[in-house]
A and B are shown apart, each in its own frame.
Chain A
Amino acid sequence: MSQILTPAIVHALLRGAVLSVELSVLTYVLALLFGLIAALMRRSRVVVVRGLARFYIELFRGTPALVQIFFAYFATPQIFTWLNKVVFGPLSGGSVLLPPHLSPFAAAVTALSLGYGAYLAEVIRAGIESIHKGQVEAAASLGLGGNDIMRFVVIPPAVRIMIPPFGNYALALLKDSSLASTISVVELTLATERGIAYNYQPAMMWAAAAVIYLVLSMVASFLFVYFERIADPIHRRRGRRLTRLASADDEGTP
Protein backbone atom coordinates (compact mmCIF):
# COMPACT_ATOMS: atom_id res chain seq x y z
CA MET A 1 0.00 0.00 0.00
CA SER A 2 2.75 2.39 0.95
CA GLN A 3 4.40 1.61 -2.39
CA ILE A 4 1.22 2.56 -4.20
CA LEU A 5 0.14 5.68 -2.31
CA THR A 6 3.52 7.33 -2.37
CA PRO A 7 4.00 10.79 -0.86
CA ALA A 8 4.53 12.09 -4.38
CA ILE A 9 1.11 10.85 -5.49
CA VAL A 10 -0.64 12.09 -2.34
CA HIS A 11 1.03 15.42 -2.87
CA ALA A 12 -0.09 15.51 -6.50
CA LEU A 13 -3.70 14.73 -5.52
CA LEU A 14 -3.73 17.43 -2.87
CA ARG A 15 -2.27 19.97 -5.29
CA GLY A 16 -5.01 18.99 -7.71
CA ALA A 17 -7.61 19.46 -4.98
CA VAL A 18 -6.25 22.91 -4.14
CA LEU A 19 -6.44 23.90 -7.79
CA SER A 20 -10.01 22.58 -7.97
CA VAL A 21 -10.94 24.78 -5.01
CA GLU A 22 -9.17 27.81 -6.47
CA LEU A 23 -10.85 27.30 -9.81
CA SER A 24 -14.26 26.85 -8.20
CA VAL A 25 -14.04 29.80 -5.81
CA LEU A 26 -12.77 32.22 -8.42
CA THR A 27 -15.36 31.00 -10.92
CA TYR A 28 -18.15 31.28 -8.36
CA VAL A 29 -17.28 34.86 -7.42
CA LEU A 30 -17.26 35.86 -11.09
CA ALA A 31 -20.47 33.92 -11.70
CA LEU A 32 -22.17 35.85 -8.88
CA LEU A 33 -21.05 39.08 -10.50
CA PHE A 34 -22.28 38.05 -13.97
CA GLY A 35 -25.48 36.73 -12.44
CA LEU A 36 -26.14 39.97 -10.58
CA ILE A 37 -25.52 42.07 -13.67
CA ALA A 38 -27.75 39.86 -15.82
CA ALA A 39 -30.50 39.80 -13.19
CA LEU A 40 -30.47 43.60 -12.93
CA MET A 41 -30.45 43.88 -16.72
CA ARG A 42 -33.46 41.57 -16.90
CA ARG A 43 -35.34 43.99 -14.67
CA SER A 44 -34.37 46.98 -16.81
CA ARG A 45 -37.02 49.18 -18.35
CA VAL A 46 -35.08 49.24 -21.65
CA VAL A 47 -36.24 46.44 -23.88
CA VAL A 48 -32.83 45.97 -25.57
CA VAL A 49 -31.08 45.62 -22.21
CA ARG A 50 -33.65 43.07 -21.07
CA GLY A 51 -33.28 41.23 -24.38
CA LEU A 52 -29.50 41.06 -24.07
CA ALA A 53 -29.73 39.57 -20.59
CA ARG A 54 -32.32 37.09 -21.78
CA PHE A 55 -30.11 36.10 -24.72
CA TYR A 56 -27.09 35.59 -22.47
CA ILE A 57 -29.05 33.48 -19.99
CA GLU A 58 -30.68 31.28 -22.62
CA LEU A 59 -27.44 30.83 -24.57
CA PHE A 60 -25.41 29.68 -21.59
CA ARG A 61 -28.12 27.63 -19.93
CA GLY A 62 -28.91 25.95 -23.23
CA THR A 63 -25.44 24.72 -24.17
CA PRO A 64 -23.28 22.10 -22.40
CA ALA A 65 -20.58 23.32 -20.05
CA LEU A 66 -18.09 21.11 -21.88
CA VAL A 67 -18.87 22.78 -25.20
CA GLN A 68 -18.46 26.19 -23.56
CA ILE A 69 -15.09 25.16 -22.15
CA PHE A 70 -13.92 23.79 -25.51
CA PHE A 71 -15.12 26.96 -27.18
CA ALA A 72 -13.27 29.15 -24.68
CA TYR A 73 -10.08 27.16 -25.09
CA PHE A 74 -10.00 25.92 -28.70
CA ALA A 75 -12.09 28.47 -30.57
CA THR A 76 -10.77 31.67 -29.07
CA PRO A 77 -7.26 31.49 -30.70
CA GLN A 78 -8.88 31.50 -34.13
CA ILE A 79 -11.29 34.27 -33.18
CA PHE A 80 -8.65 36.37 -31.43
CA THR A 81 -6.33 36.09 -34.43
CA TRP A 82 -9.08 37.21 -36.73
CA LEU A 83 -10.06 40.09 -34.42
CA ASN A 84 -6.44 41.22 -34.12
CA LYS A 85 -6.00 41.18 -37.88
CA VAL A 86 -9.30 42.61 -39.01
CA VAL A 87 -10.54 44.82 -36.17
CA PHE A 88 -7.91 45.81 -33.62
CA GLY A 89 -4.93 45.74 -35.99
CA PRO A 90 -6.15 48.51 -38.29
CA LEU A 91 -7.57 50.47 -35.33
CA SER A 92 -4.34 50.51 -33.35
CA GLY A 93 -1.95 50.77 -36.27
CA GLY A 94 -0.76 47.19 -36.42
CA SER A 95 -0.19 46.41 -32.74
CA VAL A 96 -1.83 43.26 -31.43
CA LEU A 97 -4.30 43.70 -28.57
CA LEU A 98 -5.58 40.24 -27.81
CA PRO A 99 -3.34 37.41 -26.59
CA PRO A 100 -2.89 34.53 -29.05
CA HIS A 101 -4.89 32.24 -26.78
CA LEU A 102 -6.32 31.89 -23.27
CA SER A 103 -4.46 29.77 -20.74
CA PRO A 104 -6.31 26.56 -19.84
CA PHE A 105 -7.11 27.92 -16.39
CA ALA A 106 -8.38 31.25 -17.78
CA ALA A 107 -10.46 29.46 -20.40
CA ALA A 108 -12.04 27.20 -17.78
CA VAL A 109 -12.79 30.13 -15.45
CA THR A 110 -14.26 32.18 -18.29
CA ALA A 111 -16.50 29.43 -19.62
CA LEU A 112 -17.71 28.13 -16.25
CA SER A 113 -18.29 31.57 -14.73
CA LEU A 114 -20.34 32.71 -17.71
CA GLY A 115 -22.28 29.44 -17.64
CA TYR A 116 -22.97 29.52 -13.90
CA GLY A 117 -23.64 33.27 -14.07
CA ALA A 118 -26.62 32.45 -16.28
CA TYR A 119 -28.02 30.08 -13.65
CA LEU A 120 -27.33 32.44 -10.76
CA ALA A 121 -29.00 35.29 -12.66
CA GLU A 122 -32.22 33.31 -12.51
CA VAL A 123 -31.73 32.55 -8.82
CA ILE A 124 -31.24 36.26 -8.09
CA ARG A 125 -34.21 37.29 -10.22
CA ALA A 126 -36.45 34.68 -8.60
CA GLY A 127 -35.29 35.79 -5.14
CA ILE A 128 -36.09 39.43 -5.81
CA GLU A 129 -39.44 38.58 -7.36
CA SER A 130 -40.37 36.33 -4.45
CA ILE A 131 -40.62 39.34 -2.15
CA HIS A 132 -44.31 40.01 -1.70
CA LYS A 133 -45.62 43.08 -3.47
CA GLY A 134 -47.18 44.16 -0.17
CA GLN A 135 -43.72 44.66 1.32
CA VAL A 136 -42.82 47.14 -1.38
CA GLU A 137 -46.19 48.86 -1.09
CA ALA A 138 -45.87 49.19 2.67
CA ALA A 139 -42.42 50.72 2.27
CA ALA A 140 -43.63 53.05 -0.48
CA SER A 141 -46.62 54.13 1.59
CA LEU A 142 -44.21 55.12 4.37
CA GLY A 143 -42.50 57.43 1.89
CA LEU A 144 -39.35 55.36 1.35
CA GLY A 145 -37.68 55.93 -2.02
CA GLY A 146 -36.84 53.26 -4.59
CA ASN A 147 -33.22 52.78 -3.48
CA ASP A 148 -34.15 52.50 0.19
CA ILE A 149 -36.89 50.03 -0.64
CA MET A 150 -34.39 47.82 -2.46
CA ARG A 151 -31.71 48.19 0.20
CA PHE A 152 -33.78 47.71 3.35
CA VAL A 153 -36.94 45.94 2.31
CA VAL A 154 -36.30 43.80 -0.78
CA ILE A 155 -32.68 42.68 -0.82
CA PRO A 156 -32.17 41.37 2.75
CA PRO A 157 -35.06 38.89 2.70
CA ALA A 158 -34.43 38.11 -0.98
CA VAL A 159 -30.83 37.12 -0.25
CA ARG A 160 -32.08 34.86 2.49
CA ILE A 161 -34.28 33.08 -0.03
CA MET A 162 -31.41 32.84 -2.53
CA ILE A 163 -28.99 31.09 -0.17
CA PRO A 164 -30.18 27.47 -0.61
CA PRO A 165 -30.12 27.59 -4.44
CA PHE A 166 -26.80 29.44 -4.25
CA GLY A 167 -25.52 26.48 -2.24
CA ASN A 168 -26.83 24.00 -4.79
CA TYR A 169 -25.01 25.73 -7.61
CA ALA A 170 -21.82 26.02 -5.57
CA LEU A 171 -21.77 22.26 -5.13
CA ALA A 172 -22.62 21.66 -8.79
CA LEU A 173 -19.82 24.00 -9.81
CA LEU A 174 -17.28 22.29 -7.57
CA LYS A 175 -18.02 19.04 -9.39
CA ASP A 176 -18.19 20.65 -12.84
CA SER A 177 -14.73 22.08 -12.24
CA SER A 178 -13.54 18.55 -13.16
CA LEU A 179 -14.45 19.42 -16.77
CA ALA A 180 -11.38 21.66 -16.81
CA SER A 181 -9.32 18.46 -16.87
CA THR A 182 -10.27 18.12 -20.55
CA ILE A 183 -8.27 21.20 -21.45
CA SER A 184 -5.24 20.19 -19.37
CA VAL A 185 -5.91 22.09 -16.15
CA VAL A 186 -4.30 19.79 -13.59
CA GLU A 187 -7.09 19.93 -11.07
CA LEU A 188 -8.13 16.95 -8.98
CA THR A 189 -9.56 14.85 -11.81
CA LEU A 190 -6.58 15.23 -14.13
CA ALA A 191 -4.19 14.82 -11.21
CA THR A 192 -5.91 11.51 -10.46
CA GLU A 193 -5.64 10.33 -14.06
CA ARG A 194 -1.96 11.18 -14.13
CA GLY A 195 -1.40 9.45 -10.81
CA ILE A 196 -2.98 6.30 -12.20
CA ALA A 197 -0.55 6.45 -15.11
CA TYR A 198 2.20 6.04 -12.50
CA ASN A 199 0.77 3.51 -10.06
CA TYR A 200 -1.82 1.60 -12.15
CA GLN A 201 -4.34 1.67 -9.28
CA PRO A 202 -7.52 3.10 -10.81
CA ALA A 203 -9.85 1.70 -8.14
CA MET A 204 -8.00 3.23 -5.24
CA MET A 205 -7.19 6.47 -7.05
CA TRP A 206 -10.72 7.18 -8.25
CA ALA A 207 -12.06 6.29 -4.81
CA ALA A 208 -9.58 8.73 -3.31
CA ALA A 209 -10.64 11.42 -5.77
CA ALA A 210 -14.31 10.78 -4.99
CA VAL A 211 -13.66 11.06 -1.25
CA ILE A 212 -11.79 14.35 -1.70
CA TYR A 213 -14.64 15.78 -3.80
CA LEU A 214 -17.12 14.60 -1.20
CA VAL A 215 -15.22 16.22 1.65
CA LEU A 216 -14.96 19.49 -0.27
CA SER A 217 -18.67 19.35 -1.09
CA MET A 218 -19.54 18.80 2.54
CA VAL A 219 -17.44 21.75 3.62
CA ALA A 220 -19.24 23.91 1.04
CA SER A 221 -22.59 22.51 2.13
CA PHE A 222 -21.95 23.30 5.81
CA LEU A 223 -20.79 26.76 4.83
CA PHE A 224 -24.12 27.47 3.13
CA VAL A 225 -26.09 26.06 6.05
CA TYR A 226 -24.16 28.49 8.21
CA PHE A 227 -24.97 31.36 5.82
CA GLU A 228 -28.63 30.38 6.05
CA ARG A 229 -28.48 30.55 9.82
CA ILE A 230 -26.85 33.94 10.04
CA ALA A 231 -29.30 35.30 7.46
CA ASP A 232 -32.24 34.17 9.59
CA PRO A 233 -32.73 36.93 12.16
CA ILE A 234 -34.68 34.81 14.61
CA HIS A 235 -32.22 31.94 14.75
CA ARG A 236 -29.38 34.37 14.95
CA ARG A 237 -30.95 36.09 17.91
CA ARG A 238 -31.80 32.82 19.65
CA GLY A 239 -28.19 31.81 19.24
CA ARG A 240 -27.07 35.06 20.81
CA ARG A 241 -29.54 34.75 23.64
CA LEU A 242 -28.34 31.23 24.44
CA THR A 243 -24.75 32.40 24.51
CA ARG A 244 -25.75 35.24 26.77
CA LEU A 245 -27.65 32.95 29.11
CA ALA A 246 -24.71 30.57 29.21
CA SER A 247 -22.26 33.32 30.05
CA ALA A 248 -24.63 34.75 32.64
CA ASP A 249 -24.76 31.30 34.15
CA ASP A 250 -21.00 31.16 34.33
CA GLU A 251 -20.87 34.48 36.09
CA GLY A 252 -23.58 33.42 38.50
CA THR A 253 -21.80 30.28 39.60
CA PRO A 254 -19.81 30.90 42.80
Chain B
Amino acid sequence: MSVEGEAPLIQLKGVEKQFGAFRALKGVDVEVARGEVVVVIGPSGSGKSTLIRCINGLEKHDGGSIIVDGIELHDAAELAEVRREVGMVFQQFNLFPQMTVLRNVTLAPMRVRGANRKAAVDIARRLLDRVGILEQAHKYPEELSGGQQQRVAIARALAMEPKAMLFDEPTSALDPEMINEVLDVMKDLAAQGMTMIVVTHEMGFAREVADRVLFMDGGKVVETGTPEHFFQNPTEDRTKLFLSKILRH
Protein backbone atom coordinates (compact mmCIF):
# COMPACT_ATOMS: atom_id res chain seq x y z
CA MET B 1 0.00 0.00 0.00
CA SER B 2 2.74 2.43 0.87
CA VAL B 3 4.00 4.63 -1.88
CA GLU B 4 7.74 4.37 -2.32
CA GLY B 5 9.62 7.43 -1.18
CA GLU B 6 6.71 9.12 0.53
CA ALA B 7 7.12 9.95 4.21
CA PRO B 8 4.99 7.79 6.49
CA LEU B 9 1.88 9.46 7.87
CA ILE B 10 2.59 8.16 11.36
CA GLN B 11 6.10 7.51 12.56
CA LEU B 12 7.09 6.27 16.01
CA LYS B 13 10.73 5.90 16.95
CA GLY B 14 11.90 4.32 20.18
CA VAL B 15 8.73 5.30 22.02
CA GLU B 16 8.85 4.71 25.75
CA LYS B 17 6.00 4.86 28.23
CA GLN B 18 6.17 4.28 31.94
CA PHE B 19 3.25 3.90 34.38
CA GLY B 20 4.89 4.17 37.78
CA ALA B 21 7.26 1.22 37.95
CA PHE B 22 5.65 -0.50 34.96
CA ARG B 23 7.25 -0.03 31.53
CA ALA B 24 4.28 -0.20 29.18
CA LEU B 25 6.26 0.59 26.02
CA LYS B 26 9.91 -0.33 25.69
CA GLY B 27 11.24 1.44 22.64
CA VAL B 28 8.55 0.91 20.02
CA ASP B 29 9.22 1.69 16.35
CA VAL B 30 6.24 1.81 14.02
CA GLU B 31 5.68 3.44 10.66
CA VAL B 32 2.30 3.69 9.01
CA ALA B 33 2.04 4.83 5.42
CA ARG B 34 -0.84 6.85 4.02
CA GLY B 35 -3.79 4.59 3.30
CA GLU B 36 -2.29 1.68 5.18
CA VAL B 37 -4.35 -0.45 7.56
CA VAL B 38 -2.31 -1.80 10.46
CA VAL B 39 -3.86 -4.25 12.88
CA VAL B 40 -2.20 -4.53 16.28
CA ILE B 41 -2.67 -7.75 18.20
CA GLY B 42 -1.18 -9.16 21.35
CA PRO B 43 -2.04 -10.34 24.84
CA SER B 44 -3.60 -7.92 27.30
CA GLY B 45 -1.05 -5.72 28.99
CA SER B 46 1.24 -5.93 25.99
CA GLY B 47 1.01 -2.17 25.37
CA LYS B 48 -1.32 -2.17 22.32
CA SER B 49 -3.76 0.37 23.70
CA THR B 50 -1.02 2.46 25.23
CA LEU B 51 0.65 2.59 21.83
CA ILE B 52 -2.31 4.10 20.03
CA ARG B 53 -3.22 6.32 22.96
CA CYS B 54 0.25 7.85 22.71
CA ILE B 55 -0.28 8.67 19.05
CA ASN B 56 -2.98 11.23 19.83
CA GLY B 57 -1.49 12.21 23.16
CA LEU B 58 -4.08 10.69 25.48
CA GLU B 59 -0.99 9.24 27.10
CA LYS B 60 2.15 11.33 27.10
CA HIS B 61 5.12 9.29 25.94
CA ASP B 62 8.22 9.46 28.10
CA GLY B 63 10.84 8.89 25.42
CA GLY B 64 11.42 8.55 21.71
CA SER B 65 9.53 10.51 19.10
CA ILE B 66 6.06 10.45 17.58
CA ILE B 67 5.51 12.27 14.30
CA VAL B 68 2.05 12.52 12.75
CA ASP B 69 1.79 14.04 9.30
CA GLY B 70 5.06 15.87 9.82
CA ILE B 71 4.08 17.23 13.24
CA GLU B 72 6.13 16.02 16.17
CA LEU B 73 4.20 15.63 19.41
CA HIS B 74 5.86 17.83 22.00
CA ASP B 75 3.50 20.16 23.79
CA ALA B 76 -0.08 21.35 23.94
CA ALA B 77 -0.06 23.30 20.67
CA GLU B 78 1.06 20.34 18.58
CA LEU B 79 -1.23 18.08 20.52
CA ALA B 80 -4.27 20.08 19.46
CA GLU B 81 -3.09 20.01 15.85
CA VAL B 82 -2.52 16.25 15.88
CA ARG B 83 -5.86 15.57 17.53
CA ARG B 84 -7.62 17.42 14.74
CA GLU B 85 -5.95 15.12 12.22
CA VAL B 86 -6.35 11.81 14.01
CA GLY B 87 -9.73 10.35 14.95
CA MET B 88 -10.17 7.81 17.70
CA VAL B 89 -12.76 5.15 18.44
CA PHE B 90 -12.90 3.65 21.93
CA GLN B 91 -13.87 0.27 23.29
CA GLN B 92 -16.62 1.85 25.39
CA PHE B 93 -17.90 4.16 22.59
CA ASN B 94 -17.76 7.18 24.92
CA LEU B 95 -20.61 9.00 23.23
CA PHE B 96 -21.83 12.09 25.07
CA PRO B 97 -25.03 10.83 26.78
CA GLN B 98 -26.75 14.19 27.16
CA MET B 99 -26.55 14.97 23.43
CA THR B 100 -28.51 13.54 20.53
CA VAL B 101 -26.67 11.41 18.01
CA LEU B 102 -26.64 14.35 15.62
CA ARG B 103 -25.24 16.71 18.25
CA ASN B 104 -22.57 14.16 19.15
CA VAL B 105 -21.37 14.30 15.55
CA THR B 106 -21.69 18.05 14.99
CA LEU B 107 -20.13 19.29 18.25
CA ALA B 108 -16.46 19.02 17.32
CA PRO B 109 -16.73 20.37 13.75
CA MET B 110 -18.64 23.38 15.10
CA ARG B 111 -16.41 24.05 18.12
CA VAL B 112 -13.02 23.02 16.75
CA ARG B 113 -13.26 23.63 13.02
CA GLY B 114 -15.62 26.57 13.37
CA ALA B 115 -18.12 25.06 10.94
CA ASN B 116 -21.55 26.66 10.91
CA ARG B 117 -24.50 24.60 12.04
CA LYS B 118 -25.82 23.90 8.57
CA ALA B 119 -22.50 22.69 7.19
CA ALA B 120 -21.89 20.57 10.28
CA VAL B 121 -25.36 19.03 10.10
CA ASP B 122 -24.92 18.27 6.40
CA ILE B 123 -21.63 16.48 7.06
CA ALA B 124 -23.11 14.66 10.04
CA ARG B 125 -26.13 13.45 8.09
CA ARG B 126 -23.93 12.21 5.27
CA LEU B 127 -21.70 10.33 7.71
CA LEU B 128 -24.60 8.90 9.71
CA ASP B 129 -26.07 7.70 6.45
CA ARG B 130 -22.74 6.11 5.57
CA VAL B 131 -22.67 4.16 8.85
CA GLY B 132 -26.34 3.29 8.40
CA ILE B 133 -27.76 5.22 11.32
CA LEU B 134 -29.30 8.33 9.81
CA GLU B 135 -32.82 7.44 10.98
CA GLN B 136 -31.58 7.49 14.61
CA ALA B 137 -30.06 10.96 14.36
CA HIS B 138 -32.41 12.50 16.91
CA LYS B 139 -32.18 9.73 19.48
CA TYR B 140 -29.94 9.76 22.52
CA PRO B 141 -27.04 7.29 22.83
CA GLU B 142 -28.67 5.21 25.56
CA GLU B 143 -31.58 4.51 23.22
CA LEU B 144 -29.26 2.77 20.74
CA SER B 145 -27.72 -0.68 20.77
CA GLY B 146 -24.00 -1.03 21.37
CA GLY B 147 -23.30 -1.63 17.69
CA GLN B 148 -25.26 1.46 16.72
CA GLN B 149 -23.46 3.52 19.36
CA GLN B 150 -20.10 2.41 18.07
CA ARG B 151 -21.11 3.32 14.51
CA VAL B 152 -22.12 6.77 15.76
CA ALA B 153 -18.73 7.03 17.46
CA ILE B 154 -17.05 6.27 14.13
CA ALA B 155 -19.16 8.92 12.39
CA ARG B 156 -18.32 11.39 15.17
CA ALA B 157 -14.60 10.84 14.63
CA LEU B 158 -14.95 11.02 10.84
CA ALA B 159 -16.77 14.34 11.07
CA MET B 160 -13.45 15.99 11.88
CA GLU B 161 -12.20 14.69 8.51
CA PRO B 162 -9.16 13.03 10.05
CA LYS B 163 -6.22 11.80 8.03
CA ALA B 164 -5.95 8.69 10.17
CA MET B 165 -8.21 6.72 12.50
CA LEU B 166 -7.22 4.87 15.65
CA PHE B 167 -9.43 2.04 16.87
CA ASP B 168 -8.94 0.83 20.44
CA GLU B 169 -10.65 -2.59 20.62
CA PRO B 170 -13.77 -1.21 18.93
CA THR B 171 -15.75 -4.48 19.13
CA SER B 172 -14.63 -5.84 22.49
CA ALA B 173 -17.57 -4.37 24.41
CA LEU B 174 -20.17 -5.50 21.89
CA ASP B 175 -22.58 -8.39 21.94
CA PRO B 176 -21.48 -10.97 19.34
CA GLU B 177 -24.34 -10.27 16.94
CA MET B 178 -23.34 -6.61 16.71
CA ILE B 179 -19.68 -7.07 15.97
CA ASN B 180 -20.09 -7.47 12.23
CA GLU B 181 -22.06 -4.28 11.68
CA VAL B 182 -19.15 -2.34 13.17
CA LEU B 183 -16.49 -4.33 11.34
CA ASP B 184 -18.36 -3.76 8.07
CA VAL B 185 -18.20 -0.01 8.59
CA MET B 186 -14.47 -0.31 9.29
CA LYS B 187 -13.92 -2.45 6.19
CA ASP B 188 -15.75 0.09 4.13
CA LEU B 189 -13.56 2.82 5.58
CA ALA B 190 -10.40 0.84 4.79
CA ALA B 191 -11.60 0.24 1.25
CA GLN B 192 -11.94 3.97 0.76
CA GLY B 193 -8.31 4.48 1.63
CA MET B 194 -8.42 5.64 5.24
CA THR B 195 -5.20 5.20 7.17
CA MET B 196 -6.06 3.04 10.16
CA ILE B 197 -4.43 1.53 13.21
CA VAL B 198 -6.72 -1.05 14.75
CA VAL B 199 -6.18 -2.76 18.08
CA THR B 200 -8.43 -5.81 17.98
CA HIS B 201 -8.89 -9.44 18.80
CA GLU B 202 -10.87 -10.01 15.61
CA MET B 203 -8.50 -12.20 13.65
CA GLY B 204 -10.93 -12.49 10.75
CA PHE B 205 -10.81 -8.73 10.34
CA ALA B 206 -7.02 -8.78 10.55
CA ARG B 207 -6.79 -11.43 7.85
CA GLU B 208 -9.22 -9.76 5.54
CA VAL B 209 -8.51 -6.06 5.90
CA ALA B 210 -5.02 -5.53 7.31
CA ASP B 211 -2.15 -4.56 5.07
CA ARG B 212 0.11 -5.36 7.94
CA VAL B 213 -0.26 -7.12 11.27
CA LEU B 214 1.80 -6.07 14.23
CA PHE B 215 2.22 -8.40 17.18
CA MET B 216 3.07 -6.82 20.52
CA ASP B 217 4.13 -8.47 23.74
CA GLY B 218 5.68 -7.04 26.89
CA GLY B 219 5.75 -3.47 25.59
CA LYS B 220 7.61 -4.34 22.39
CA VAL B 221 6.74 -5.04 18.80
CA VAL B 222 7.70 -8.71 18.52
CA GLU B 223 6.80 -9.35 14.92
CA THR B 224 5.28 -7.55 12.00
CA GLY B 225 4.26 -8.69 8.54
CA THR B 226 1.48 -9.24 6.06
CA PRO B 227 -1.52 -11.20 7.31
CA GLU B 228 -0.44 -14.15 5.10
CA HIS B 229 3.00 -14.27 6.65
CA PHE B 230 1.63 -13.66 10.07
CA PHE B 231 -1.06 -16.29 10.25
CA GLN B 232 0.62 -18.94 8.07
CA ASN B 233 4.25 -18.91 9.06
CA PRO B 234 5.09 -16.60 11.93
CA THR B 235 8.75 -16.67 12.81
CA GLU B 236 8.77 -15.71 16.48
CA ASP B 237 7.97 -18.26 19.15
CA ARG B 238 5.92 -15.80 21.16
CA THR B 239 3.77 -15.07 18.14
CA LYS B 240 3.24 -18.78 17.53
CA LEU B 241 2.28 -19.31 21.17
CA PHE B 242 -0.17 -16.42 21.12
CA LEU B 243 -1.76 -17.54 17.85
CA SER B 244 -2.03 -21.12 19.05
CA LYS B 245 -3.96 -19.87 22.08
CA ILE B 246 -6.44 -17.72 20.23
CA LEU B 247 -6.86 -19.78 17.04
CA ARG B 248 -7.28 -23.16 18.72
CA HIS B 249 -11.04 -23.37 18.47
Contact B112 A160 (CB under 8 A): no
Q: Which one of A137, A143, A157 lies within 8 Å of B94 (CB-CB)?
A: A137
**Is A156's CB within 8 Å of the partner chain B?**
yes
Q: Which residues of B contact A142 (CB under 8 A)?
A: 83, 87, 107-108, 112, 156-157, 160
- Chain B contributes a number of interface residues (CB within 8 A of A) equal to 28
Contact A144 B90 (CB under 8 A): no
A156 vs B96: C-alpha distance when bound (angstroms): 10
Contact B83 A143 (CB under 8 A): yes
A135/B108 contact (C-beta < 8 A), A143-B83, A143-B84 known: no
**Is B98's CB within 8 Å of the partner chain A?**
yes
Interface residues of B in 67-115 (CB under 8 A from A): 80, 83-84, 86-88, 90, 92, 94-100, 107-108, 111-112
**Is A138's CB within 8 Å of the partner chain B?**
yes
Which of the listed residues A143, A153, A156, A160 has the most CB atoms from chain B within 10 Å of its own CB? A143
Contact A148 B98 (CB under 8 A): no
Q: Which one of B56, B98, B99, B142 lies within 8 Å of A141 (CB-CB)?
A: B56
A59 to chain B, nearest CB (A): 34
Q: Which residues of A contact B99 (CB under 8 A)?
A: 152, 233
**Is B188's CB within 8 Å of the partner chain A?**
no
**Is A45's CB within 8 Å of the partner chain B?**
no
**Is B58's CB within 8 Å of the partner chain A?**
yes
Q: Which one of A141, A153, A156, A234 lies within 8 Å of B88 (CB-CB)?
A: A141
A148 to chain B, nearest CB (A): 5
**Is B143's CB within 8 Å of the partner chain A?**
yes
Which of the listed residues B98, B112, B143 has the most CB atoms from chain A within 10 Å of its own CB? B98
Contact B90 A152 (CB under 8 A): no
B84 to chain A, nearest CB (A): 4
Q: Which one of A137, A138, A148, A160 lies within 8 Å of B111 (CB-CB)?
A: A148
Chain A residue with Cβ nearest B156: A142
Contact A152 B107 (CB under 8 A): yes
Chain B residue with Cβ nearest A141: B88
B51 to chain A, nearest CB (A): 15
A143/B97 contact (C-beta < 8 A), A134-B92, A137-B58, A137-B90 known: no
Q: Which residues of A contact B56 (CB under 8 A)?
A: 141
A92 vs B99: C-alpha distance when bound (angstroms): 55
**Is B140's CB within 8 Å of the partner chain A?**
yes
**Is A223's CB within 8 Å of the partner chain B?**
no
Q: Which residues of B contact A143 (CB under 8 A)?
A: 80, 83-84, 108, 112, 160
Q: Which residues of A contact B87 (CB under 8 A)?
A: 141-142
A210 vs B96: C-alpha distance when bound (angstroms): 44
List the interface of chain A (C-beta within 8 A of B): 132, 134-135, 137-145, 148, 152-153, 156-157, 160, 233-234, 237
A-B residue pairs, 7 tightest by C-beta: A138-B94, A142-B108, A141-B88, A134-B94, A143-B112, A143-B83, A143-B84
Q: What are 17 contact pairs spanning A and B, CB under 8 A?
A: A132-B94, A137-B90, A138-B96, A138-B156, A139-B108, A140-B83, A141-B56, A141-B86, A141-B87, A141-B88, A143-B160, A145-B112, A157-B97, A233-B98, A233-B140, A234-B142, A234-B143
